[in-house]
Amino acid sequence: MLKLMKINKVIATTASTFLILCCGTLMASNPLESSMKIEKEMDKAAVSTQNSVDKLADQTADMAQTYQVTLQSIDSSKAYNSSIEGYIRRQDTEMASIQKQMDGIDDTERAIIPMMEDMIESIDQFIHLDVPFLMVEREKRVNFLREMMLRVDVSNSEKYRKILEAYQVENDYGSSVDSYEQEISVGGLKKTVDFLRVGRIALVYQSRDEETRAYWDNTSRSWVSIGDEYRKSIREGIKMARGQANLDLINLPIATIKATR
């Protein structure tokens, strides 16, 4: 039994030793694994840190590029704004000039209307002081001008043009020859007579039966009867004015203007 107890003791000692060795081995293996695990974690952290650094570097590069683009945009905006400011200044100068011209036009408009009215009155007075030919036609032209001045749908430039046209017509009468017929009162009787006008130097008429004839004396503002010596000349002059005969010299009565001192 004692032997058996020794054997059990040996076995127990051996088992204890094995357990100690096993435990020592196990304890010895744990620091290595921990170190490896720590190294792996450090590698992972390094990779993560590098990724963060790379990401920050990319972001910094993007921000730098964005900053450069922003600076360029600011420079472009400054140049554009400077150009726009110059354009606006030029526009303001032009607008001020246009406004000044418009103010001048308004002053001209205010001045030209009375002037045109005076022109119409002048031509009316001239017609009634002139040799009295085509009076109905000429007075009608003046009345047209007066009515035109009251119309708001006719521009001042058009009104002025029409007045100048009337002046031109009156001016042309002085260098033209004309013949027309008209009913007048002769000796208290109404007669249709043929008029002959040579510019403004001679205005005569002769009745259809060639028994009555007269010339206009603008000094006395009256008709003066003339004799048979002018019968043929007046007849030929009327034909020439109407294009019914060739132009030739004729004898017509012309009132002389006496010089006054």
Give the distance from CA 194 to its chain's centroid.
54
- The per-residue pLDDT for range 53-68, each reduced to its tens digit, is 788 888 888 888 888 8
pLDDT of the residue at 110: 79
Task: Identify whether the C-beta of residue 146 lies closer than 8 Å to the C-beta of residue 159.
Answer: no
Segments in 130-177 forming alpha helices (H): 135-149, 156-173
Residue 6 has what pLDDT? 45
Q: Residue 205: what are its φ and ψ, rounded to 5°?
A: -140, 160
**Length of the chain (residues):** 261
Distance CA 253, CA 201 (A): 9
Residues 166-169: contacts with CB under 8 Å, at least 24 apart = 166/123, 166/141, 166/142, 167/119, 167/123, 169/141
pLDDT at res. 48? 78
Residue 218: other Cβ atoms inside 10 A? 15
Q: Are 149 and 124 in contact (CB under 8 A)?
A: no
pLDDT for residue 44: 78
What is the structure's pLDDT at 221?
A: 93
- Using a 10 angstrom Cβ sphere, with 0-12 exposed, 13-18 middle and 19 or more buried, the burial of residue 213 is buried
pTM (global) more than 0.95? no
> Domain map of the chain by residue range?
105-173, 177-261
CA 174 vs. chain centroid, Å, equals: 42
Sheet with 177-186: list strands edge to edge.
177-186, 189-198, 202-207, 213-217, 222-225
Q: What is the pLDDT of residue 73?
A: 74
Considering only CA atoms, give the Rg of the chain. Answer: 62
Mean pLDDT by 10 residues, the chain (261 residues): 43 44 46 73 78 81 82 78 78 76 69 93 96 96 97 94 97 95 88 95 94 94 94 96 92 70 48
- CA 92 – CA 89 distance, rounded (Å): 5
pLDDT digits (tens, 9 = 90+) for 102-125: 666 667 777 899 999 999 999 999
